[in-house]
Homo-oligomer: A and B are copies of this chain.
Amino acid sequence: MSEKIVRIAELEIDPARLDAYRALLSEEIEASIALEPGVLMLHAVSEKAQPELIRILEVYAGREAYDAHLGMPHFLKYMRETADMVRSLRLIDVDPIMMGAK
């Protein structure tokens, strides 16, 4: 089994489309967590001072889980419907130091 993939996505969204973008992202996250055993965490937040700046902390069980995610109907719908809302996207590979939650 491959090791977990942990990543931060940083996006800038067209401010005029922000409500629509948030709804599509929420729908995509809900479906991914519910339907895909290998999608372990998707925490999406927006900056209070600049809500068009979005960050997502993503954890996948491994490379296979991530590759499968990219082919899911809910992911493809999100990509298709948000394509013209996203002004920039930066993907940052990270290593967990300590993940604590309750």
Q: Please report A residues at the B interface, Cβ cutoff 8 Å.
A: 6, 8, 22, 25-26, 29-30, 32-33, 40-49, 51, 54-55, 57, 59, 92-102
Contacts and interface: CB of A to CB of B under 8 A. Distances in A.
Contacts of A25: 97-98
A94 B48 contact: yes
A101 B33 contact: yes
In the complex, the count of this chain's copies comes to 2
A98 to B, nearest CB: 4
Contact of A46 (B49, B59, B95): B95
Given A45-B6, A57-B57, A29 B100 contact: yes
Nearest to A42: B100
